[in-house]
Structure 1
Amino acid sequence: MTGHAPATRPLRVLLAGFSGLGTQDHQTDMYLPAFSAHPGFEVAAVAGDEPQARSAAERLGVPLVADVATAVGDVDADVVSVCVRPEERAETAVRALENGRHVLVDKPAATGVPEAAAIAAAASAAGRVCLPAHHQRFAPGVRAARAAVGGGRVGLPWNIQTDFLVGAGDPVPEGELVNFAVYPVDIVLAVTGQPVHRVHALTAGAPGPSGAERTAVLMLDHAHGVTSTIVVGRGADGIAAPGTVFHRHRISGSAGVLVVDAAGPVLTVRGAAGARALPFDSGSVPALLDELHGAITEGRPADPDIKDALAVARVVAAARTSLRTGLPVDIAAQPQPGSTPAAPTPTA
């Protein structure tokens, strides 16, 4: 990677957009406070036509540019935090990368596989960091689980069972599969290191107000015979307070079972020698920004990078096809970033 920023000064950040799926505003709720608290970054400007953009600019005492496209090209910034409307994210991220900016892009990074591939191609061509905001990968329990599996604590992993269920809150019109599946799919791919070849998805429970699914079950076949099952979605109003209710992983391997309660948090390895707890600390969003800063200043790829978001987009697209057809979906061989991806193919 070329053109990495020096570590002698804070990296200048442009906050671009204050929108998301449904009523989400992760820029205000997550990234603005995290960037403001991180010693390696300083917010240089705000862009967007939302009321939150004006409020943030006034509160921070920085310039406001109403047009995001203009700001991405003109503002002196090292990093663009992209939280524009989902249908505008690919275009905005590509424009930022082509203008030499590094990018943090909110989830989902793109509305489909071609859009995610376009961002990946732009990041590769520009030699810039493009970090998808898969911050749950940085949850302390998940980080400890990755280290434990990578260190052979459970032997060769062969199955993961995952629950990512959120309590009350505003259902998104697009469905909770698009909203939440990014996190557990990314975690499963990171822990196993094995790409997904086949997806079968089923809905569970009553639909949300828009008619889209609130809860879904994904059954994934990975390379080398590894399998995973993911339950993802939003519970009915009143069952629990807002926030993550269940974020759990049960990782079975040839030498034991790793049980992770990332919301607890508890992480336990059970094997022939008995059960033992593994320590961990730190939070997910600050750790996400640590990774962004380290990748930029050290001139290395981020973990995750936009290619990981592309892999997740393929799985989510296949799951949506499976929900529509009722059939498992084989994911075609992954094309190179920037090429036209093949559509997921339903199989009987």
Structure 2
Amino acid sequence: MIRYAVVGAGWISQEAFMPAVAATGNSRMQAIVSGSPDVARRLAEFHCVPELVAYSGYDELIASDRIDAVYIALPNSMHADYTIRALRAGKHVMVEKPLATSLAEGEAMVAAAKASSAFLMTAYRLHNEPGTHGMIEAVRSGQIGEPVFFTSTFGFQSQLGNHRLNASHWGGALPDVGVYCLNAARHVFAAEPIAVQAMASRPPGDPRFTEIDASLAVTLRFPGDRLAQFFCSFGSGTSESIRIVGSSGELILDPAFKFDSALRMTIRADGKETVVPFQQVDHFSGQIAYFSDCILTRNPPEADCEEGLADMRALLAIDDAARSCNTVRLDRQPFRAGITTSIVRSFPPTSKRLLI
């Protein structure tokens, strides 16, 4: 049984991580690390978590033998610090996306992971979700021919006051939800992008977007003259879709990203349309169970720090392209092994949660 400390007791921890742990069978929560003692106390009572720890007690906790791993759900600007400290203490780390806010931070996290006996996994929950694998396998098996174009949307209306609207934390739609579109494109093409273009929009007078852009439209070139585009937004109606155009057909995944959605795939090829509805599963239970399996068996996780760093390179290039209005070229990078069905974990959706 892997014992987790949840670092950061905000919305994603309350809505998704904490409710999911009990279903895994190989994981439990040992501690909540938070700067809000009353919130942490109520959550600990609800989920039967033994320990409450202030941020000032984090180093003592990770130096102890009371936990095996930490889940870091802090603002993006705090990922590197709390991750590196845990790795140096020998604790395994699951950190939310994006990995960090700069390549220097990301590379320091990679170095700390390599120097440690502990694992660092970027929290790509869709890598352990069956619908995402269904899409990748359909492409790999040639059901739409060779993939030549990828397009995706992920947007919704963000609420005023959310820390993801703060530039100081590298907030915004790109690192928060655009990363899903980017990661999917990389795995569909099994390649890293070599050039990016981007345009951003920021409606005047909207108090949510005084520091960050509301929306971004991105174009990426991949090796082999393959193209991808995606739109991400904190100021749009809810949209979460993927469309892949192949040399002999097309594939649509809609819904595609949200953890409260049942993914649905449509394949149009050879004059026929095939619809594949996937069973709704708890994305976080699957992700947690997989990481705990990795720890228990000493098999490194697929979505490791190098996977997170690969997305970071492209995200930062997209940021640069949006600011400069120029095409930004990336050094060619090898694509590491893609996801396989061996990492799928399926658990029914959870319903026991407390939102404060």
Would you call these one fold, judging by a TM-score over 0.5? yes
Specify the alignment match of 2:4 in structure 1.
13
Specify the alignment match of 1:219 in structure 2.
219
Correspondence 1:262-281 to 2 at 5 A: 262=256, 263=261, 265-281=263-279
The one-letter amino acid paired with 1:311 is A
Specify the alignment match of 2:245 in structure 1.
252
1:71-97 Cα shifts (integer Å, max 9, x gaps): 222252111111233222112112212
Identity %: 24
Correspondence 1:199-210 to 2 at 5 A: 199-204=196-201, 206=203, 208-210=208-210
- Out of 123, 126, 151, the residue aligned to residue 133 of structure 1 is 123
1:310-339 Cα shifts (integer Å, max 9, x gaps): 11111111111111111111123459xxxx
Structure 2 runs not aligned, ≥5 long? 335-356
| C-alpha distance in 2 between matches for 1:333 and 1:71 | 41
Specify the alignment match of 2:84 in structure 1.
94
Specify the alignment match of 2:343 in structure 1.
none
Alpha-carbon contact 2:9-2:32 (below 8 Å) kept: no
Is 1:35 aligned to residue 35 of structure 2?
no
* Alpha-carbon shift at residue 184 of structure 1 (Å): 1.3
Alpha-carbon contact 1:268-1:275 (below 8 Å) kept: yes
Correspondence 1:295-314 to 2 at 5 A: 295-314=294-313
* Alpha-carbon shift at residue 273 of structure 1 (Å): 4.7
The one-letter amino acid paired with 1:210 is T
User: TM-score scaled to structure 2, two decimals?
Assistant: 0.81
1:238-265 Cα shifts (integer Å, max 9, x gaps): x5xxxxx211111122232111112563
The one-letter amino acid paired with 2:175 is V
Q: SS where residue 196 of structure 1 aligns?
A: coil
- Out of 141, 145, 149, the residue aligned to residue 151 of structure 1 is 141
Structure 1 runs not aligned, ≥5 long? 1-9, 20-24, 240-244, 336-348
1:271-310 Cα shifts (integer Å, max 9, x gaps): 1151112342223222222321232223223232221111
Alpha-carbon contact 2:29-2:49 (below 8 Å) kept: no
Specify the alignment match of 1:234 in structure 2.
234
Specify the alignment match of 2:50 in structure 1.
62
Go from structure 1 to structure 2 and tell me whether the alpha carbon gap of 1:121 and 1:73 turns closer, same or farther (over 3 Å shift).
same
* Alpha-carbon shift at residue 169 of structure 1 (Å): 3.1
Correspondence 1:284-299 to 2 at 5 A: 284-299=283-298
* Alpha-carbon shift at residue 150 of structure 1 (Å): 2.1
| C-alpha distance in 1 between matches for 2:174 and 2:83 | 23
Go from structure 1 to structure 2 and tell me whether the alpha carbon gap of 1:221 and 1:16 turns closer, same or farther (over 3 Å shift).
same
Query: Greater CA deviation, 149-158 or 317-326?
Result: 149-158
Query: What is the CA RMSD across the aligned residues, in angstroms?
Result: 2.3
* Alpha-carbon shift at residue 189 of structure 1 (Å): 1.4
Q: SS where residue 37 of structure 1 aligns?
A: coil
1:41-91 Cα shifts (integer Å, max 9, x gaps): 011122232243333334424122212233222252111111233222112
Aligned length: 314
Go from structure 1 to structure 2 and tell me whether the alpha carbon gap of 1:273 and 1:121 turns closer, same or farther (over 3 Å shift).
farther
Alpha-carbon contact 2:27-2:289 (below 8 Å) kept: no
Alpha-carbon contact 1:47-1:71 (below 8 Å) kept: no
| C-alpha distance in 2 between matches for 1:204 and 1:143 | 33
Is 1:103 aligned to residue 129 of structure 2?
no
The one-letter amino acid paired with 2:177 is F
Alpha-carbon contact 2:9-2:40 (below 8 Å) kept: yes
1:166-195 Cα shifts (integer Å, max 9, x gaps): 245346223222222121111211222110
Alpha-carbon contact 2:249-2:269 (below 8 Å) kept: yes
User: TM-score scaled to structure 1, two decimals?
Assistant: 0.82
The one-letter amino acid paired with 1:56 is L
Specify the alignment match of 1:177 in structure 2.
174
Alpha-carbon contact 1:200-1:219 (below 8 Å) kept: yes
| C-alpha distance in 1 between matches for 2:34 and 2:211 | 30
